[in-house]
């Protein structure tokens, strides 16, 4: 049986609201005025960035290009006894005896290089190749893990990535699922860095000059 841990990861950052323990909610007097509006309560400090003219937009994980929990569950229910395999972006397969050891919700708050505050959330499944070479994870068991993780994941509309160690720990977005020969293969894609404020940070392409046509009139020779 897989060793399952549940985790919720929320890096500290400036967002619409940041929940803090009550003992940390004392606001320094120098920060009570100015463009940042702080709102104090017994267990919450609210950082209001409205006066700065910055917006809240979803990050890369919220663009709807990767498979969501709801879609994964639907596929697993169709093949409950099939063995689950994970295929890396280079086409190689993670070992068949790999465990899924964590089902986590990852919440990220960040500011991009253009000064826009953003938020994104996703579901992360961690894989681990244990020493039990006879271990096999089937679709029914993975579905059970996802069901048990509901209180942590909260929403089934989260996109999914898979954390795996290939000499170093990496995360791979879940792109699609294919079923064949008694297996369901979770095909993973590569993740890339990106600039979310290219209109502000990247040099603009040179303007193309608009050339007007020139009309020539031929006159008969004298």
189 or 220: which carries more pLDDT confidence?
A: 189
Question: What is the predicted pLDDT for the residue at 2?
Answer: 52
**Over residues 124-144, mean pLDDT:** 95
**Over residues 7-23, mean pLDDT:** 40
Residue 137 belongs to what domain range? 5-9+56-191
Structural domain contains residue 211: no
Question: What is the predicted pLDDT for the residue at 6?
Answer: 47
The residues near 183 (Cβ < 8 Å, ≥ 6 apart) are 82, 83, 84, 85
User: Rounded mean pLDDT of the chain?
Assistant: 76
Question: What is the predicted pLDDT for the residue at 220?
Answer: 73
38 to 79, 111, 176, 212: CA distances (angstroms): 51, 19, 43, 58
**Over residues 83-90, mean pLDDT:** 96
Structural domain contains residue 204: no
Question: What is the predicted pLDDT for the residue at 222?
Answer: 57
Among 32-36, 48-52, 64-68, 157-161, name the most confident range.
157-161
Structural domain contains residue 41: no
43 or 90: which carries more pLDDT confidence?
A: 90
CB 160 within 8 A of CB 103: no
66 or 189: which carries more pLDDT confidence?
A: 189
Q: Which helix (H) or strand (E) holds 77?
A: helix 69-78
Q: What is the pTM of this model?
A: 0.64
**Over residues 114-134, mean pLDDT:** 95
**Over residues 116-120, mean pLDDT:** 95
**Over residues 121-134, mean pLDDT:** 95
The Cα 139–Cα 76 span in angstroms is 5
Question: What is the predicted pLDDT for the residue at 24?
Answer: 37
Q: Which helix (H) or strand (E) holds 151?
A: helix 150-153
**Over residues 20-29, mean pLDDT:** 38
Three-class DSSP category at 57: strand
Question: What is the predicted pLDDT for the residue at 203?
Answer: 77
Q: What is the count of structural domains for the chain? A: 1
168 or 216: which carries more pLDDT confidence?
A: 168
Structural domain contains residue 17: no
């Amino acid at each position: 049986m897989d060793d399952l841990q549940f985790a919720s990861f929320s890096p500290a950052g400036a967002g619409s609201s940041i929940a803090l323990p009550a003992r940390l909610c004392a606001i320094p007097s120098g920060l009570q005025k100015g463009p940042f509006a702080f709102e104090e309560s017994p267990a919450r400090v609210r950082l209001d960035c409205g006066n700065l003219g910055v917006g809240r937009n979803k990050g890369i994980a919220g663009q709807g290009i990767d498979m969501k929990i709801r879609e994964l569950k639907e596929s697993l229910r169709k093949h409950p006894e099939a063995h689950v395999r994970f295929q890396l972006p280079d086409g190689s397969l993670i070992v068949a005896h790999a465990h899924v050891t964590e089902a986590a919700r990852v919440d990220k708050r960040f500011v991009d290089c253009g000064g826009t505050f953003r938020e994104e959330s996703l579901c992360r499944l961690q894989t681990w190749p244990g020493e039990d070479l006879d271990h096999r994870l089937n679709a029914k068991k993975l579905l059970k893990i996802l069901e048990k993780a509901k209180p942590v994941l909260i929403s089934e509309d989260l996109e999914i990535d898979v954390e795996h160690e290939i000499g170093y720990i990496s995360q791979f977005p879940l792109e699609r699922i294919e079923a064949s020969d008694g297996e369901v293969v979770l095909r993973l894609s590569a993740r890339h860095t990106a600039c979310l404020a290219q209109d502000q940070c990247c040099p603009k392409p040179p303007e193309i000059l608009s050339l007007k046509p020139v009309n020539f009139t031929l006159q008969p020779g004298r």
